[in-house]
Amino acid sequence: MNILIVDDIATNRKLLKVTLEAEGHTTVQAADGVEALQVLAHETVDAVISDILMPNMDGFRLCLEVRKSERFHALPFIVYTSTYTSPDDVKLAQTVGADKYLTKPAPAADILNALREVMHTSAARPVLSAPAVEETYVLQQYSQTLVNKLEEKNTELNDALDKLQRAHERIVVLNSNLERRVQERTAELETANRELSHALSEVKQLNALLPICSYCKKIRDDNDYWQSVEGYISQHTNAHFTHGICPECLQTELKIIRAGNGHRQG
């Protein structure tokens, strides 16, 4: 069979095409109802599988136009949708003449079974002599369905706007808290930086390799001049010295003094 796939989303058309062609069917495609009618005008088609929500002409209107056509009124027509799924939507699909109603995504087996069913059903469809139902009634039902769908979408949009508003308010609060914390942290860092700068200004570090005499312990400065450790440190830092004697040196000096006194007494 040659099946007309009508859907405004290319991925949906491709998936359905793969499913049908895997079973040996051929397919033609259209992106909306207007394009589908153009395809029907020059292609021999055995059945139609159509989405509902499409630009230019939706699936309800396409089905109605097919059923009004003397040439295509018996063409098997399957509605395949993920948007119009309420009982009223199913009822309208039946009113405009759809043979089968499937909800996306349907298993491949369900699609193929539906296709087999509608092929048998269409064979028993009577020759068109007059509209099965008044077109005025169909259009009223169609309009009401569209209004209901618009109201449903409006409710969904309002809910979404509500959530966005709450999220925005939350973000504003979080940003305010973040800015406050950044300011506090910046102030802390500035204070710490000032304290560090002050400390560095008061401390001079000796970070060079210092040549020192092994005997007299003098240090050679950058001008190749030898000076005492005390003089070098005083020159390069703010340190001050007081002089005393450590316990070891004290004991050494006492021994020397005692030894000297012993020699004089002898």
- Structural domain containing residue 175: 134-203
pLDDT in tens, 99-150: 999 999 899 999 999 999 988 776 556 554 444 455 666 666 666 666 666 6
121 and 151 share one domain: no
What's the structural domain count of the chain? 3
Report yes or no on 265 lying in a domain: no
The amino acid sitting at 254 is: L
99 and 52 share one domain: yes
Strand partners, 77: 48
pLDDT in tens, 71-91: 888 899 999 998 877 888 888
Structure tokens at 15: 């998936």
pLDDT at 34: 96
Contact 82, 105 (CB under 8 A): yes
Distance CA 114, CA 102 (A): 8
Report yes or no on 208 lying in a domain: no
Report yes or no on 263 lying in a domain: no
89 and 162 share one domain: no
Contact 204, 236 (CB under 8 A): yes
pLDDT at 7: 96
**β-pair type (2-6, 219-220):** unpaired
Domain boundary among 116, 133, 150: 133
149 and 128 share one domain: no
Domain boundary among 104, 133, 162: 133
28 and 95 share one domain: yes
Is the pLDDT confidence value at 261 over 60?
yes
11 and 68 share one domain: yes
pLDDT in tens, 193-245: 888 877 666 555 556 677 888 788 788 877 888 888 777 777 777 777 777 78
pLDDT at 247: 85
Angle at which helix 33-42 crosses helix 59-68, to 10 degrees, equals 30
